[in-house]
Amino acid sequence: MHLNHDSTAPAADPIAFDDFLRVDIRVGTILSAEPFPEARKPAYRLRIDFGPVIGVKKSSAQIVSRYALEELPGRQVAAVVNFPPRQIGKFMSEVLTLGFADEEGEVILFAPDRAVPNGSRLF
């Protein structure tokens, strides 16, 4: 399935509220960001702290064109934490870090506009 990430994408089919509740989206703080040269598309390897319940998880994020490695640690991000882990090359991505496409189709990270506790769940 290919998803259209730009602003011209048609609206998705309606879902039940219970379906939305099954997607566990949490806020975490990036602890570290490293290059991921083995990825097919340019990406970083992130370690994100989601607090005491979820813990520290790894994620691959295709954000290299909009973010420098050194600006990522300490930044809060949102991620889906209940998808199965996904093998990307030799790296196991444990969460899906969320973002929106800008005008050029590059990923802009999704985060709260004020700091919230790590592990806070979207509702």
Residue 98 in domain: yes
Residue 110 pairs in a beta bridge with none
- Give 92's strand partners: 87
Q: How many domains would you assign to the chain?
A: 1
Lookup: tokens for 108: 């802009």
Query: How many residues are listed for the chain in this entry?
Result: 123
CATH number, position 43 = 2.40.50.140
pLDDT tens profile 56-115: 999 999 999 999 999 999 999 999 999 999 998 889 999 999 999 999 999 999 999 999
Residue 44 in contact with residue 60, Cβ under 8 Å?
yes
Q: Is residue 7 part of a domain?
A: no
pTM of the model: 0.91
Full domain range(s) for residue 54: 17-109
The string of pLDDT tens digits covering residues 1-49 is: 345 667 788 999 999 999 999 999 999 999 999 999 988 899 999 999 9
Q: Check residue 80 and give its pLDDT.
A: 98
**96 domain residue, yes or no:** yes
In a domain, 114, yes or no: no
